[in-house]
Copies of this chain bind each other. A is one copy, B any other.
Amino acid sequence: MDLKNYLSKKKTVIDRALQSHFPEPVGLLSDIIKALQYSLFAGGKRLRPVLCMAGAEAVGGNGADVVPVACALELIHTFSLIHDDLPVMDDDDTRRGKPSNHRVFGEGLALLAGDGLMIDAFALITTAGLSPRISPENVLEVTGLIARAAGYQGMVGGQAVDIQSEGKTVGLSTVEFIHTRKTGALIAASVISGAILGNGDETQIMAVTSYGKKTGLAFQISDDILDIEGNSSMLGKKAGADRQKKKITYPSVVGLNKSKKIQADLVESAIESLEVFDNKADPLRHIARYIIDRKN
């Protein structure tokens, strides 16, 4: 299959849905709407939405049915980027090659734009229940799953431990703890949500759960590696920033070579998890491999 074409088609669907979701930025709310749209349309890869749609298709469901949830996952991801970039957090001036949200709109509005995206994600998720092929029970299950993945025991908790660990000497278990939460949890939730909404059976849900967790962790390890081997213009953010900030990363804990070995093993193991599926899971298989090859 042609992964590039697949990703591009899905991205178009997601971008259109996201564009039509927000009202025109007019009136007193215009600034906050502009602020949240600025980061949402700054050129994201839409990896989480694509994984959600691919998860639904792998179990025989319809990717189009899960678009509201797929979009909600992108809102949550974008919220996390805006807050992570704030001066009190990672203090990053650029994101995706553009000034970060607070550099354009100020810290107060950036904080609120993040909050607004986060909350709106849950308004959006509920609209998935409008599709006749999706049961309200499944939408509720997915809402809880995504909230737990994003919350203080997931992404937000991972970020908390991440900022608290800067400059400390930690072992492999701590960096694994951070990475599985701050990045892995939402990526895993993306593909699992799709499979649940696509009415996957228990075996299928277990398979994509294993796939999602391994792929999510591998994705963050590749972020760590790109920070060392990538270049700033390709990344759209400053390379080498992790080292400068004394961030806990796989390379800083186990070295670059062992990080690559762990990442490659995770990707192979993620693909093995999918053996219960036929070729409808090929996009998921290719996306796992793409994680190792990506340049941004």
Contact = CB atoms under 8 A, between A and B. Distances in A.
Interface of A: 28-29, 31-33, 36, 79, 83, 86, 88-89, 106-109, 111-123, 125-127, 129, 135-137, 139-141, 143-144, 147-148, 150-153, 156-157, 159-161, 163-164, 174, 177
Contacts of A174: 28
B140 A136 contact: yes
A33 B116 contact: no
Copies held by the complex: 2
Contacts of A89: 108, 111
A145 to B, nearest CB: 9
Chain A contact residues: helix, strand, loop or mixed:
helix
Given A28-B177, A108-B89, A140-B140, A119 B161 contact: no
A247 to B, nearest CB: 14
8 contacts: A28-B161, A32-B152, A83-B111, A88-B111, A109-B160, A112-B152, A119-B152, A127-B144
Contacts of A152: 29, 32-33, 36, 112-113, 115-117, 119-120
A123 B147 contact: yes
Given A140-B136, A151-B116, A157 B123 contact: no
A140 B126 contact: yes
Contact of A115 (B83, B126, B143): B83
Contacts of A28: 161, 174, 177
Contacts of A88: 106-108, 111
The 8 closest A-B pairs by CB, nearest first: A116-B152, A123-B147, A136-B136, A126-B144, A119-B151, A88-B107, A32-B160, A122-B147
A115 B135 CA distance: 29
A29 B151 contact: no
Contacts of A29: 152-153, 157, 160-161
A185 to B, nearest CB: 11
A121 B117 CA distance: 15
Contacts of A108: 88-89, 160, 163
Contact of A156 (B32, B139, B161): B32
Contacts of A86: 111
Given A125-B143, A126-B144, A139-B140, 19 more contacts: A28-B161, A28-B174, A29-B157, A31-B160, A32-B156, A32-B161, A83-B112, A88-B106, A88-B107, A89-B111, A108-B160, A119-B150, A119-B156, A120-B147, A120-B151, A121-B147, A122-B122, A122-B143, A126-B140
